[in-house]
Structure 1
Amino acid sequence: MAQIAEDLFLLLLDNAAAQPGLDRRRREKVLSAAVLLDLAYACRIRPAMAGEPIEAGHLVALAGGWPVDEVGSAALELLQRRPLQAETALAKLSRRVQSDLETHLERIGQIRRVRMPGKGFPGRTVYCWPLTDRERVSQARAALLAALFDGHTPVPAIAAIICLLHAVDGLGAVLSLNDRGWRWVHARATEIATGGWVDETASALPEMNLAVTTSALRLALMA
């Protein structure tokens, strides 16, 4: 399941306008990164390391016999053709990532499509996306707040979301704080971005791959 990308998009939609937060450029890049991180957590992609025949940092597709959901399939197919720099992968995926997530989340009943009359350019229909059930986004928001303010070790999906939003200075799209609150959040998000949430036991390979790939994508997002 595309938990990181789904939860991130639901958090961005969780506002009175039912429109995703962040400007289009940052939103498309951060959603594309989230889709790639879902694949990394499933151990279907990873960044190449120094000493490999592929240039270090390029994203590489890994073999696997289990299916990928429709949100991640385009990203996996892209990297199966050839390894790509993180920046290149983000740029290619950004063209369709939001549309894919909207269709997917509507299909599984998390959001619904509502046409906004009188909005947009002639010939272009604009929609808002009200949440149909607040349970999932409420759980994601509670976990995010617990990680940022209560010192809880975040679960992998929430750690990834915090890292991605922090990289594009996008936490303001899901939080409203005063100056003191923002100083605390930025310090805590930076701490989480170091990867301290990872369980380093042998059984935590998916988490370690997620953390390494998150680091590579953070650099691309901040470039």
Structure 2
Amino acid sequence: MNSLSTSTLAAAGRSTGVASAAAQAAAALVPAIAALAVVPARDADVPADAVAVVATLVGAPSADLVLVASDVLGDVTAAAGGALTTLDALRPALEAAGQEVGAGVLEASRTEAAGAAVAGAEVFALQDEGATVAWFALRVRGPQPPAPLRGVPTQRGSMRMLYDVDMVLTAELGRTTLPVRQVLDLTPGTVLELDRAAGAPADVMVNGKLIARGEVVVVDEVYGIRVSEIVNDEDATR
């Protein structure tokens, strides 16, 4: 086997591994009653007339992330009385999948016909006790960069193409976890207890990734964050 064939197979293996990890991350956050198993599938297996929720990750590499989960979301969105849309319900799953693909900005979610959305993509069936209840697909746009060598610093020049891309930063005071039934029962005046002590620094996030911490300040009657700490990759685990 020549070197070109070997490198092609290696790139394909990395692509499949990333797609599988993204599918696992998405499956964990699809609001289903039971945990969903991830099984490789074909784009032809996905019902062409179903509605797919798609979000594009702009980064290196860029990719389209696709979820087809209308069946599993039917009861959840119906119980919410229209307050929870399919786009909102699947956004956390798409964000989690995007983090597995790589650094970048996840654009707003949109809907497309499933047949066109998954064509040529790596597809996975999301199954509950052997029955497929949803689909995940990943289509990488353009060639993937080679995996960096461990211990060798990445050259900043490879990121120049991203310098003008807008990135959304969010400040997070804390989190809490609630079952869907309690989320649907929320009313004005409900107090949610977060996992952060009063006075603790807020987290500064980019695309769901922790990059800094700081204190909440007010600048000209507008909230702001005074950065007190830059978080390294080793310290970014929550």
Q: What TM-score bracket applies, with the shorter chain setting the length?
A: under 0.3
Bigger helix share: 1
The structure with more radius of gyration: 2
Asked which structure has the greater RCO (Cα within 8 Å, sep 6+), the reply is: 1
